[in-house]
Each structure stands twice: as C-alpha cells, then as structure tokens.
Amino acid sequence: MTQLIWLTIALPILGLLINGLFGRRFLGNRVVSIIAPLMVLLAFLVGVGAFFETMGRDGEAVTVHLWNWTTIGDFSVPINLLVDPLSLTMVLVVTGVGFLIHVYATDYMVHRDDHGHAHDDRDFPRFFTFLNLFIASMLVLVLGDNYLMMYVGWELVGVSSYLLIGYWFDRPSEEQTPIDLGPDTEPVQLQPLLSPAASGMKAFIVNRIGDVGFALGVFLIWSTFGTLQFDEVFAEAVHVSETMPTVIPWITALLFVGAIGKSAQLPLYVWLPDAMAGPTPVSALIHAATMVTAGVYMIVRSNILYSLAPNVSLWIAIIGMATAFFAATIALVQVDLKRVLAYSTVSQLGYMFAAVGVGAYTAGMFHLVTHAFFKALLFLGAGSVMHALHDVIDIRRMGGLKDKMKITWITFWIGGLALAGFPLMSGFFSKDEILAHVFEASPILWFFGILTAGMTAFYTFRAIFIAFHGKPRDHHLYEHAHENRAPITFALSVLAVLAIFGGLLGLPAFMGFTHYLDGWLEHVLYELPHGAEEHHMSVTMEYILMGTSAVIAVGGIALAYFFYMVQPSIPQNIARSLRSLFALLAHKYWIDELYDTLFVQPGLKLSNAFANGLDKLIIDETFIDGSAKLVGRFGKLLSKLENGYTSNYALATFIGVLIMISYFFLR
Amino acid sequence: MIGQVPLSYYLLLSAILFAIGAGGVLIRRNVIIVLMCVEMMMNAVNLTFIAFSRYLDSTTGQIFVFMIMAVAAVEVAIGLALLVELNRHKDTVDINEFNSLQG
Amino acid sequence: MILSLLILIPITGAILIAFVPREQENVVKWLALGTTAVALVVSLPLYFGFVDNASGYQFEEFRPWIPPLNIAYHVGIDGLSLFLILLTTFLTLISVLSSWTAITDGLKGYMALMLLLEAAVIGVFVSLDLFLFYLFWEASLIPMALLIGKWGGSRRVYAAVKFIIYTMAGSTLMLVGALVLYVNGGTSDLPTLVNNLELSQNLQIILFFAFALAFSVKVPLFPLHTWLPTAHVEAPTAGSIMLAGVLLKMGTYSYLRFAIPLFPDALAYWSPLLVTLAIVGILYGALVALVQDDVKKLVAYSSVAHMGFIVLGTFSGGQQGMSGAVLQMINHGLSTGMLFFLIGVLYEQRHTRLFSEYGGLWVKVPVFGTYFLLAVFSSVGLPGLNGFVGEFVILLGTFKVNPIAAALGTFGIVLAAWYLLTATRKMMMGPFNEANKNLKDMNLRESGIAFALIALCFVIGFFPNLLFDKINPATVELAEIIKATALLAGQ
C-alpha cells in the first residue's frame, strides 16, 4: 500500500474527472453522490493500509518516486510522495474526515421542499467535483517530499477553497438584522455579509498575499541549500545555521507568512469568517478540519528549521496566542452560528501555533487532529440546524431545537464540550498539553491562553443554550424543524465518537499513560545535537495546570448557563452598559473596514490614477500621440513651402544648385 | 573645321542656351513653353558632351548624348500626354493653375 | 527542408486562396484550414526529431542569397525557437477556426493575410541571418496591420496606423545597428558574428540599445506599451490571438537570440534598466488592468504584466530565468490566446465587451464558464496549469540574482489574482444579467478549440520537462555567456 500511496491523490482526481465531465449530462445526482464519497473512502483505505505498513516499519519514511517535474541546470524537482508518520497522520485526517463530510454533503446539498421531494439541482455535480479537487490538493500538500510540491498543494487548496466558497456564486450579499439591546437603546447595526462570490475572491487574494511570503521562503531555501527536498534541506540545516546564521530565521519567517495567510492568523485572518458564505460541509472540511491547519503541518514538517530559529518561533507563539485571544473576544458576541464557529477556529489555530512556536510540535499536531474531529462535528451540527431551518443561521431565530433534533443536539453538545476543553473529552487533553508547554516557555502567554480557554467555553455554550435550549423564538421555523436524514446523522455520530475518544491518542505521560502520538511522530521530529537538556516541570505542576484548565472550562460553561438559561437579562444589561465595547466586538474591531481604507481603496485609486492619468493622458496622449502630432505639425509647417507654383520649385532647385556650386568653388 | 573653334566657344554657347532655358522655366507660365525650355537646357548639356567628346577624342560623351536623347524623347512623350490630360482637366495651359498639390 | 517548407506552405496557401472566386467562401475557409493543418503537421517532426541535450542549431539550412555581400538564406532552430514555431502553427490553426463564422466580409483577403502572417512569423523565428531576420520582422507587420485596419472595431484605422508606425519606428534603429554589425563583421550571418566579432564595449552598448529598442516596443515593455491595448481592442478575435500569442514573443525571443549573444558586454550596462522596467511593467500593467471596463483591454494590460515576467527572467534569472522565460512565452501564448478566443465567442453573440453588459453567465453557459475559469487560472499561474511553472522558475532564478526584484515580481502575482478574479466575478458570477438571456453555450467547434488549448496547458503544467529538456541546452550557452562577462566585469 505504501508504494500505491499515489492512489490517494489519483482516486479523488478520477472522481472529479468523472463527475466534472459526465456528472451533469449523463450520470445524474444519485450516481455522483455515490462516486465522490467512494473515491475518498478508497483513498482513506489506501491510507490505512500505508499506516499499518509504516507501523510495521517502526515509522521509517519511504519515498515514492513518480516522475521528474522540472530540471533546469542545477534546479531539479521530482514529483515524489513521502510516506512517513507525519504525512500519514494528515492523510488519515484529511481522507477520514473528508469521507464523512462527503457522505454528509450527499444529503445536505440536496434541496427539498416541505414534502421531502428533492429538487433537480443541476449544480450538484459541480459541488462534488470541487470537493474531490480539494481532497486531491490537500493530499498533494501533505504528501509532497519537497517544498515545491508543498507550495503546489498550498496554492491548489486555495483555489479549491475559492471555488467552494463561491459555490453559490449568484447569491447577493445579505443585510444582517441589527442587534436589539432592549427598549430605549439604539440597536447595534451590523455590517452586511459579503456575497459568496466576493468572499471567495477575498479568501483567494488574502491567501495569495501570504503565499508571496511562502514563495519567497521557497526561493530562499533553494538559493541557500540548492535543493528543495525535505531530507536534503534538513540534513544541511544545522551546518547552514552555523555558517550563515541569518538565513534560517529569514526562511522560517517567510514560510510563516504563508502560514499566517493559509491558517488565518493575525493579521491575515479576515478571510476565514467571510468564507462561511460557502456551503457548510465546505466550512467543516476546509475551513475547520483540514486546509487551515496546513500552516501547522508546514511548521511541524520543518521543525528543525524552526528549532534553529528560536526568535522566529517565539514570535510565532506570540502571534498564535494573540490570535487565539483576539478571535475569542469577537466570538463572544456573534449572532451567526457559523461565524461563532469560524472565530473559534481562528482562535484554536492560534493555540496550535502557540504550541509549535514553543517547540511543542507533537502537542500542535495532537490539537490539530482533535480539533479536526470536534470542529468538523460542530460545523456539521450547525449545518444540520441550517438544513432543518431552511438556511437560517441567526441564533436569535432559533431556540428549543433540542426537542426537534435529538441527534444533532446531542452531538453538538459533545462537540461543544470537546471544544470547551471539558475534562476527559479529546479537546481537553490536547489543549491542556499545549497550555502546559506554553506555561513552561512563558507564564504570561499561558495566562492569555487560559483566559482564551475560559472565553471558548463561554461562547460555545452561549451558542448552544440559545440555539437548542429555552423557548422557540421563531415559531414558524420551529414548527418546520425536523431531524435530518441518515447521511447527516451518520456523519455526526461518527465524528461525535471521535471527538470523545480522540484524546486517547495522547493521554498525558505524566499520569503514567502512553502518549501514542509522541512515539508515532518521533521519527519526524529532529533533535538538535547540542540542544539544551530538556527540563521537565514537576508532576505536581502538571496536575495544577490541568486542574486549572478543567476548572476554567467548567466555569465558562457554568457562566454561559447562568447568563443564558437562568438570568437571560444579564447579557443584555452588560451589553447596554458597555455599549461601545460591545459594538466594537460586534463589528469585529472594524478590521475589514480598516484594511479597506488602508489597502483596497488606495490600490483602486492608484489603479485609476494610472489607468486614466498616467497611462491614458501622459504616456499615450502626451508622449506617444503627442510626438506623432509634433511630426504632423512640423510637416504642415514645411508643406507651406509647397505653394503649387512650379516656377517656385524650379527656382528653389536653381538656388540649391548655385549654393552647391559656389561651395565647390569657394572651398 | 572644328579644330579651329576653341572649346570655350562651345561651352559658352551651351551656357547661354542653358541660361535661356533656365530663365524660361522660371519665368514663363505656359506649360508648353516651360517644357520646351527644359528641352533646351537638356540640349545645352548635350552640346557640352559633344564638345568634350570631340576635344578629348573619346566616344563616351556621345554615348551619353544618345542616352539623353532617348530619354528626352520618352520624356516629351509623357510630358505632352500629361499636358493634354491637364488641359482637359483645367482647360488651360497656365502652369500656376496647376497648384492643387500645395500644402 | 522542414523550416523552408513551413515558410512556403502558408505562402502557397495564400496564393491559392487568391485564385478562389470571392463567392466561394467555403472553399476559402477549408483551404485556409487545410493549409494551417498541413503546416501544423509539418511542424510536428521538429519536436519529435529534435535531439535533446544537444547544443547548436538543428534542421539548419544554408543557401547563398546575395553571395558578393555575404548575405545568405540561413535558417535553423534550437531550444529557443522550437516551441515558438510549434506555437505559431498551432495558434494559426486556432485563429482560422475561431474566425469560421465571425468574419463575414472580405473573408478571402482575411484568410490570405492570416496565412502570410504565419509565414512571416515563422520566418522571424527561424532566421539566422540578420537581413533575413529583418525582412521577416518587418514583413510580419503588414498583414497584422491590415487585419486590424480592415476587420477591426470602430477605431480600427487609428489602431492599425498606430501599431504599424510605432513598431516600425522602433525597428529603424535596429536596421542601422544591423548595418554597423555587417560593416564590422563583413557578414550578416548570426552564428559567424556571434563567434568572431569583437566589438568594443561602448559600441556594444550603443548597438544593444538599437536592437533592444525594437524588441522592447514589440514586447511591449513599459512605457512603450500603449499601442498594445489599442490594437487589441480594435483587432478581430483571431488578430488578438495572433498578436498576443505570437507577435509579442518576437520581441522577447529576439532578446535571447540576438541581443544577448551579440552584445554580452552591454548587459551589465543595460540589464538593470530592463529589469526595472520589467518590474514596473508587472506591477503597473496589473494595476491598470484592475480598473478597465472593457474585458479585452484588461487582458491586453495583463499581457503587459505577463510579458514583464518574461523580460525579468531573461535579464536577471540566470539559466533558470531564461528557460522559464522561453516556457512562459509559450504559456502566455496559450493562456492569453485562450482568453481572447473566449472573449471572441461572447463578442460574436453580444457585440460588446463591457463588464456591465455581463454578469452571472456561469448559470447560463456552464461549459463556457468552466473554460473561462480554467483560462483565468492558467493566466493567474495556478499549479497544475502551465503558467505556474514559468512564473515560479523565473522568480526562483531571479531571486538568486536579485531578491528584491523577485519579491516585487512575486507581489505581481497577487495583483494578477486580483484583476483576473475581479473580471471573473463581474462576468461569470453575481446575479444573472437578463441582457444575456439568449446567449448560447459553446458549440462543438468552439469547445473543441478551447479543449485543445486547455489540454496543452495541463500537459505543460504536469510535465514541463517535456519542454525543458529541449530548451535547456540553448539557455545553458546563454547563461555561460552572461556568467563569463559578469566575471570579466568583476575583475
């Protein structure tokens, strides 16, 4: 199976070709919705096979050579696939979660009327074509054995994301209902939501800004190491860092710029919340579980480079934690269920970067995996609600849904508990491991981390209590709400199991358990030869930190319960008394508007000035046409001499001859 | 006989003929006369060629003259044809009337 | 023989067309199609018979032309020109097909001119003699100008005159430069001149300017680019395909073929300026493209930006940059050719190219929309498609020599995404514009053309080594020339 790992990429490509070329005209939606998930399932099975073989090899890496891509002089890049514990972890997450989401989407993307009859949706094959394209691209990203293939995958997932966010490209932008703060207070107006087409474009362009950094990082790697192959670069890294100490910090910083874009960190996170304009399975797969974690994967893959650049790593931790905190504050007041989850994703990605920034690569990967489970679950749960409520996503119109949608309600609770870090859920172990490592590196960062954890628990359960509990706010919607069909509940249930037990991958070692992930990733993580002796904190300290996390999580949930179930007037009162702060959060700190005035509008103004001023008036009309006109005018002037009297011409000739002759004589 | 007439006489005659022709081209307005004056200038040149040919005892000059006469014949033919066309067009032979090419 | 045949076949076709009665439009069409198809088939052995990893010219032909003056009919190809010839024969076929129903008036002259254009352009790419080259260079102007001037839009005469005068003015100095070379070297044979001629550095600097001016107008390099948008907007669809696809490449190709090997010592003096102008062109072209309201003008300005990448790779990319530049010439020909073709498909039905007239088309014409999106992706430089390989390799090579230029160039691809996706959004996405309710999706001929173009884009994107194996030997030599002069300058 290891040698056949290329099938994991080829199968989704086969699926997208079949569905893309024939789905609309010949196959019909039913066949399409079998082929697309089947291909991903087969890819998953290939991945599982490779996983067991790699286990048997004790985690040793195998490279599968496919063909030589580009060779020019001393630049040579093959298309190789690298099968090692790290890439297999990602392959299993991508294809596993991807398969569940494909299954989910086969029902979610079908629009039904009130009697349950499916509409004949001609765009249905297009969705699965793009979704398969994403799976293939993501696998290129994680399986490539060199930075160029990583960059290729990096760009391709960006384009799949663009296509999928803009899937409903003909929908317009939407106004949002203002937030009512009770009588005799002016409601807080909200910005309109971008249209899907605009959101997709925004995502692509913001990502490309990050990609500039990534590309430059790749160029710098090549001009320093003369190769882009992972193994060759990593083998030389220590040597290079001794001979050229500034290069590796530059490389890591530039690559991290790419990660900032792709993984939605400060200051390039702005595209992710708008990406929620896409269909919910897309949000679950791309914008929660897989694509956005590519930055974390990249850093873990290049762990030796980052270990050699401690200053850059520190900044990564700081940026990560700042993002985690910042996004969590915004999530506190969002009224759109998917956007709460989107900001929570940004925030959780911040945790992962904080982890890899302080050198806890395994912890980062651990959280990546558990987050993929519970965040996919939460998004799919939100999608299930949307599907039942005919695309209503505003939590202010929900309420009491737990009686109507039992499975969605229970699984959403499980996902919420895991996200909040409730003890013994998967998110608890991975988040705790990160926080412990962060505490070791810097207690201040840890403080922000634990604060964020509290906010996470609060905003997650705020959404849950408003949406699923209490009394229905919109009776018409409530009446029509219903539990969804098998594909949706199946995906939710499987993910719920994973969200509960995902923590078993990395039970804390200090409690005497085996940390499977640690052993599994051992071969991928490089030890610095002269690295400082790892100093472990005491077991007591670990217990104290873990206890704090647990208390904070439970506290956050309890606070949400008190605010939204016991005393629903409190949050409104707080919002009223802190109106400007509330408005600031509700408007997402006006960051979008800031970027618009700082970059987009000046860019457009410059464009206009260039197009209509410099290009049209100055270069073209003044210089080019101007010089043509100048020649024309000079010609007009000369043509005055041509007065049409032959004798004048003859006279001129004679005078000319005379001058020439006299020149010869007088010389 | 020609041996007695010095070369300078021929040259002088040719110069006078040329000057008359040139003057005619510059002053006269009748196209036919202008054309004749041009021919006259050409013949002045021919005369010079012949005189030098004799003086230098070489036939090169005479060959040139034959060339020029042939060209002149062609020229007259075309010139007169053009003139007839012009006359049909404008009903005059006044050279100053043909000025529509002025700038 | 093949190369001469490639020049003669289109000329023969044009002559045959001239004898067909005007009313027999179908005969004219099929004759033109047949001629271009034969030319394409005849050009294929160039690829399959080309010896990989061999230096020097292949398929060479040498016949004395004006023996007393040492001017000869000398043609031959190497990795620089091989793919440009294939591109020319391919795109001419596409152009003839794309004019199948679009041209209703004066079809005979149109097709004949198209074939003459093909012959002239192939002549430019195969000439190894300065005078032969100059002859074809100027000859290629005439059919193009006539195509624009007779079958173009409302300001066609202005555009055609601007095109012809601008490019001719640019190349006058080149003629003088060629004469100076001829006087100094006693021959106009390019390989002989490259090997034997020793010119002083100052003379090289002057001559380089004379040649580079002609080439830069053709590319077009900022700020000599303003003829291009005008010409594109007015040109008929096939004219735009040929103009962007092939004619612009004459400029960048000639840098590599003539300017660099003939005047290596002038490079140190001129390349900083050329690199700067290329960078300015990349950013400026992109910014100007962003606010155009005519989609063809947008693509025209995107050409300014894309050709900037090619110049950048040529003058600052080392071997990687030059190989990338050659590849990118092909890529730009395919992707921009495809964009112009697709715009032509819309124009034929709606007779407008303004963004405001379109919107939400993907719903109505899904096949067209998919091809359009793929063409945009190819142009934006997305991996898997051709544009990515070229741009990546150019920037990679440039980075090693000049990191700042590479950084600015890389930023150019962000802007490329911005304007091309904006165009896509305005035309293909958003609410459906009811003015297009009678729009028909592509027919078999049109989707066949688009498929052929995009299939090539994918092949290059996946297997660029199919091309690089043949391009590299030529660029190795150029890179060595540059390296050698850089060493001399350093001493």
Distance from CA of A527 to the nearest CA of C (A): 30
Distance from CA of A155 to the nearest CA of C (A): 7
The neighbours of chain C, by the rule of 3 or more Cβ pairs under 8 Å, are A
Q: Give the least confident one: A93-97, A217-221, A541-545.
A: A541-545
Residues 449-478 on C with a CB inside 8 Å of A are: 463-465, 468-469, 472, 475-476
Interface test with A, best of C222, C298, C379, C392 (most A CBs within 10 A): C392
Distance from CA of A644 to the nearest CA of B (A): 4
Give the tens place of pLDDT for each residue, A600-627. Answer: 899 899 988 888 888 888 888 888 888 8
Structure tokens at A289: 């579980």
- Identify whether residues C319 and C394 lie together within a single domain: yes
Set of chain A residues whose Cβ sits within 8 Å of the Cβ of C390: none
C198: number of Cβ within 10 Å: 8
Q: Give the least confident one: A55-69, A639-653, C123-137, C311-325.
A: A639-653
Residues 366-405 on C with a CB inside 8 Å of A are: 366, 377, 382-384, 388-389, 392-393, 395-397, 399-400, 403
Set of chain A residues whose Cβ sits within 8 Å of the Cβ of B102: 639, 642-644
CA neighbor of A421 nearest in space, from A357, A463, A370: A370
CB contact under 8 A, B102 and A650: no
Set of chain C residues whose Cβ sits within 8 Å of the Cβ of A619: 223, 226
The residue from C231, C262, C293 where one domain ends is C262
Set of chain A residues whose Cβ sits within 8 Å of the Cβ of C166: 624
Residue C280: what residue type? V
Q: Is the pLDDT of residue B57 over 70?
A: yes
Question: Considering CB atoms only, which of A640, A645, A651 is closest to B103?
Answer: A640
Set of chain B residues whose Cβ sits within 8 Å of the Cβ of A650: 22, 25-26
Q: Give the least confident one: A409-413, B94-98, C482-486.
A: C482-486
**What pLDDT, on the 0 to 100 scale, is given for residue B1?**
46
Set of chain B residues whose Cβ sits within 8 Å of the Cβ of A641: 103
Are A and B neighbours with ≥3 CB pairs closer than 8 A? yes
Asked if B93 and B87 count as a contact pair (C-beta separation under 8 A), the reply is: yes
Distance, in Å, from the CA atom of A231 to the CA atom of A217, rounded to the nearest integer, reads: 17
CA A610 and chain centroid, separation: 34
- Identify whether residues C369 and C355 lie together within a single domain: yes
Residues 285-344 on C with a CB inside 8 Å of A are: 287-288, 290-292, 318-320, 323-324
**What pLDDT, on the 0 to 100 scale, is given for residue A534?**
56
**What pLDDT, on the 0 to 100 scale, is given for residue C466?**
92
Set of chain B residues whose Cβ sits within 8 Å of the Cβ of A646: 34, 95-96, 98
Distance from CA of B66 to the nearest CA of A (A): 25
Interface test with A, best of C217, C222, C232, C284 (most A CBs within 10 A): C284
Residue A19: what residue type? N
**What pLDDT, on the 0 to 100 scale, is given for residue A516?**
83
Q: What is the DSSP letter of A186?
A: P
C404: number of Cβ within 10 Å: 11
- CA dihedral sign, ordered A92, A97, A100, A102: negative
The neighbours of chain A, by the rule of 3 or more Cβ pairs under 8 Å, are B, C
Distance, in Å, from the CA atom of A613 to the CA atom of C15, rounded to the nearest integer, reads: 46
Structure tokens at C312: 């950048």
Question: Considering CB atoms only, which of A642, A647, A651 is closest to B101?
Answer: A642
Cβ contacts of residue B96 below 8 Å, gap of 6+? Answer: A644, A645, A646, A647, B29
> What phi and psi values does residue A508 have, to the nearest 5 degrees?
-60, 135
Instruction: Tell me if residue A497 falls in helix, strand or coil.
Output: helix
Distance from CA of C52 to the nearest CA of A (A): 13
Question: Considering CB atoms only, which of C292, C429, C475 is closest to A170?
Answer: C429
Distance, in Å, from the CA atom of A607 to the CA atom of C419, rounded to the nearest integer, reads: 11
DSSP E strands, A515-649: none
Question: Considering CB atoms only, which of C166, C431, C468 is closest to A70?
Answer: C468
Total of domains in chain C: 2
CB contact under 8 A, C414 and A208: yes
CB contact under 8 A, A155 and C382: yes
**What pLDDT, on the 0 to 100 scale, is given for residue A554?**
92
Give the tens place of pLDDT for each residue, A471-505. Answer: 888 888 888 888 888 888 999 999 999 999 988 88
Q: What mean pLDDT do residues A65-83 have?
A: 91
- Identify whether residues C202 and C271 lie together within a single domain: no
Cβ contacts of residue A589 below 8 Å, gap of 6+? Answer: A326, A330
% of chain B beyond a pLDDT of 90:
45
* H-helix or E-strand spanning residue C63: strand C58-66
The neighbours of chain B, by the rule of 3 or more Cβ pairs under 8 Å, are A
**What pLDDT, on the 0 to 100 scale, is given for residue A575?**
84
Determine the structural domain holding residue C479 and report its residue range. 267-491
Asked if the C-beta of A650 comes within 8 angstroms of chain B's C-beta atoms, the answer is yes
Set of chain C residues whose Cβ sits within 8 Å of the Cβ of A208: 413-414, 417
In the predicted model, residues of chain C with pLDDT beneath 70 are: 486-491
A225: number of Cβ within 10 Å: 20
Distance, in Å, from the CA atom of C477 to the CA atom of B70, rounded to the nearest integer, reads: 61
**What pLDDT, on the 0 to 100 scale, is given for residue A623?**
87
- Identify whether residues C389 and C439 lie together within a single domain: yes
Asked if A88 and A107 count as a contact pair (C-beta separation under 8 A), the reply is: no
Give the tens place of pLDDT for each residue, A566-591. Answer: 888 888 888 888 888 888 888 888 88
Set of chain B residues whose Cβ sits within 8 Å of the Cβ of A642: 101-103
Q: What is the DSSP letter of A506?
A: G
Distance from CA of A94 to the nearest CA of C (A): 20
Q: Cα Rg for chain C, rounded, in angstroms?
A: 21
CB contact under 8 A, A610 and C288: yes
Asked if the C-beta of C429 comes within 8 angstroms of chain A's C-beta atoms, the answer is yes
Distance, in Å, from the CA atom of A450 to the CA atom of A548, rounded to the nearest integer, reads: 8
Give the tens place of pLDDT for each residue, A151-203. Answer: 999 999 999 999 999 998 888 888 888 888 777 778 888 888 889 999 999 99
Set of chain A residues whose Cβ sits within 8 Å of the Cβ of B96: 644-647
CB contact under 8 A, C292 and A198: no
Structure tokens at A628: 């043509």
Q: What mean pLDDT do residues A285-311 have?
A: 91
Rounded to the nearest 5 percent, the helix, strand and coil shares of chain A are 75, 5, 20
Interface test with B, best of A634, A639, A647, A655 (most B CBs within 10 A): A647
Distance from CA of A623 to the nearest CA of B (A): 26
Distance from CA of C273 to the nearest CA of A (A): 18
CB contact under 8 A, A647 and B22: no
The residue from C229, C246, C262 where one domain ends is C262
Set of chain A residues whose Cβ sits within 8 Å of the Cβ of B95: 645-647
Distance from CA of A622 to the nearest CA of B (A): 26
CA angle C418, C468, A77 (to 5 degrees): 75
CB contact under 8 A, B96 and A639: no
Asked if the C-beta of C363 comes within 8 angstroms of chain A's C-beta atoms, the answer is yes
Q: What pTM does this model have?
A: 0.89
Interface A-B, measured as beta-carbon pairs within 8 A, has a size of 37
CATH topology of domain B7-90: Helix Hairpins (1.10.287)
Instruction: Tell me if residue A290 falls in helix, strand or coil.
Output: coil
Interface predicted TM-score (ipTM): 0.92
Distance from CA of B13 to the nearest CA of A (A): 19
Asked if the C-beta of A638 comes within 8 angstroms of chain B's C-beta atoms, the answer is yes
Distance from CA of C331 to the nearest CA of A (A): 15
Asked if the C-beta of A651 comes within 8 angstroms of chain B's C-beta atoms, the answer is yes
Set of chain B residues whose Cβ sits within 8 Å of the Cβ of A638: 103
